[in-house]
Chain A
Amino acid sequence: MSDAPLLEAEAVTCRFGRVTACRDIDVAVHAGEILGIVGESGAGKSTLLRCLAGVVRPASGTVTYTDAGGREHPLHALEDSALRRLARTDWGFVHQHPHDGLRPHLSAGANVAEPLLRCGETRYGRIRTAARHWLEQVELDPVRMDDRVRTFSGGMQQRVQLARNLVTEPRLLFLDEPTGGLDVSVQARLLDLIRQLVARLQVAVVLVTHDLAAVRLLAHRLVVMQQGGIVEQGLTDQVLDDPQHAYSQLLVASELRC
């Protein structure tokens, strides 16, 4: 890990009308690191993620991304076209619901191909090979690559979404509750898959979830949010095994143990 963080948020506050969704958030993600963000429903996790990804403009504060060349990009001061370029070349964003991140009327292959096409690839053969390769990487049968995504099961759709976001080999991946709505066995396989791919590709990840088992498995560092603010952050094992803040203690205590 290098010293300069890949993505750094300073004093980020985000409001929707009278509601303050995130309050004075400082957080940093380093290269190759997996940062988990946990907290109860409505704590501002997803809003923070969308601020970090440049989708939502914060009321105050800055989010700075450092690219592979060491150049700093203040996300919310960038022109729309520059932000779009970063988003398609350097990042991936996996949505909680596959239909937010996929084009369900297109085939699985086309869904994986689209980010490559948007990055300027103009050779059909290359695109086809890459799409097949990445569908295999997420353990989908390439026989189904020309089937429409809407005919796939929820777990398969989520894997197509993962493939679509990894095909451009991003440096940073945003995961918004990637296992939400899936049954437990599918969740376990998907988490295992994410863990393997992320470790192999050395991609940095910001993972939002309320599933403590998921962060225990994946995250190096953990941020606990409550009512729009960060109440505790530290190494995952440290926070989960020895929570300091009352809310973290409550959260850990409420985890189901089998």
Chain B
Amino acid sequence: MSAASPGAGPLPGYNFAYLDEQTRRMIRRALLKAVAIPGHQVPFAAREMPLPYGWGTGGLQITAALLGRDDVLKVIDQGADDATNATSIRRFFARTAGVATTERTDAASIIQTRHRIPETPLRPDQVLVYQVPDPEPLRGVETREAEARRMHAAADYGLARVALYEQIAHYGRVRQAYNHPVIVNRRYLASPSPIPRFDNPKLDHSPALQLFGAGRERRVYAIPPHTPVHSLDFDDVPFTVDADDTACSLCGATDTYLDEIVLDDHGTRRYLCSDTDFCRRNRDGGPDHE
């Protein structure tokens, strides 16, 4: 794996992967419970991290709890490996755990992500860790936290569809471009963290373990491998991903999620793959080539 850089050894004075061992155990126990009840939000004693809330403290703690010395870590922010958030988190673990890092999706064992699922299909030996800004899918329709928990307990999710009803009534279609709520394992309503609708189908029956962490709200939840995940919809207005044949201006891919870049004030635009690793390897002769 030429893309993976060798670890330089952890920073002296810190425990491996920053958090102390008791905290890592506590988080792993919460994660085990979350895996046992797919989609259910499990509280955990989130620690303060050397990162502001909203920058991925939840995902950071899950990654810290999971990392072993042999893991290879990839961190993406909106699909990009070189964004500020991704760079700083990757460097954080390179320094505190000394683990190898990579930009290649297929070379990573743990992928921490903010708002995207990589285009390259994941494998059963990989773990995808999401940074979740708002773990409560009912927040938009029910502001009372206690009532939202009762609704989860009773699987009383009619209200969640009211938001979709409103969008169809007003605009003729579901306009929710990201954070489209899902039913996990036919039971719990969950927020997919704000991934685009485009990525929702990848949640379903994913071979990789998917873990979600919200640091400020102190919750984790999980989608175990091969779990059915259904995007919320109506029987006669099924969930669809917007079809778009715009091509990436760098690699020419038409089946990826694209970022739109406005170039001037005359409406000139460029479209680029949001997944920088996929785009680069596509240009180098296809994602399977090195």
Contacts and interface: CB of A to CB of B under 8 A. Distances in A.
B166 A106 contact: yes
Interface stretch (A33-41, A109-117, A228-236, A238-246): A109-117
Contacts of A128: 169
Interface residues of B, number: 18
Contacts of A124: 165, 168, 234-237
A181 B221 CA distance: 46
A80 B169 contact: no
B47 interface: no
Interface in A65-116: 80-81, 84-85, 88, 103, 106-107, 109-110, 113-116
Contacts of A103: 141, 162
A123 B233 CA distance: 9
B170 interface: yes
A46 to B, nearest CB: 21
B161 interface: yes
A208 interface: no
A128 B159 CA distance: 15
B153 A110 contact: no
Given A80-B153, A123-B234, A123-B235, A114 B158 contact: yes
B289 interface: no
Contacts of A81: 153-154
A125 interface: yes
A173 B156 CA distance: 21
Interface in B149-190: 150, 153-154, 156, 158-159, 161-162, 165-166, 168-170
A103 B143 CA distance: 11
A148 to B, nearest CB: 10
Contacts of B150: 80, 84
A116 B136 CA distance: 23
Given A122-B234, A123-B236, A106 B156 contact: no
A212 B34 CA distance: 57
Contacts, number: 59
B169 A109 contact: yes
Given A81-B153, A81-B154, A114-B159, A127 B165 contact: yes
Nearest to B151: A84
A55 to B, nearest CB: 13
A119 interface: yes
Q: Looking at B141, B162, B237, which has the most chain A CB atoms within 10 Å of its CB? A: B162
A25 B189 CA distance: 41
Contacts of A115: 158
A102 B165 CA distance: 16
Contacts of B165: 109-110, 113, 117, 124, 127
A197 B165 CA distance: 27
B187 to A, nearest CB: 14
A85 B165 CA distance: 22
B231 to A, nearest CB: 13
Interface in B220-279: 234-237
B56 to A, nearest CB: 31
Contact of B156 (A84, A109, A116, A123): A84
B154 A84 contact: yes
A110 B169 contact: yes
Contacts of B159: 114, 117-118
Interface in B127-158: 141, 150, 153-154, 156, 158
A146 interface: yes
Contacts of B154: 80-81, 84-85
Contacts of A17: none
A17 to B, nearest CB: 22
Given A107-B166, A124-B237, 11 more contacts: A80-B154, A85-B154, A117-B159, A118-B158, A119-B158, A122-B234, A122-B235, A123-B234, A123-B236, A124-B236, A128-B169
26 contacts: A80-B150, A81-B153, A84-B150, A84-B156, A85-B154, A107-B166, A107-B169, A110-B169, A113-B165, A114-B158, A114-B162, A116-B158, A117-B158, A117-B159, A117-B161, A118-B159, A119-B158, A120-B158, A123-B236, A124-B235, A124-B236, A125-B236, A127-B234, A145-B169, A146-B169, A146-B170
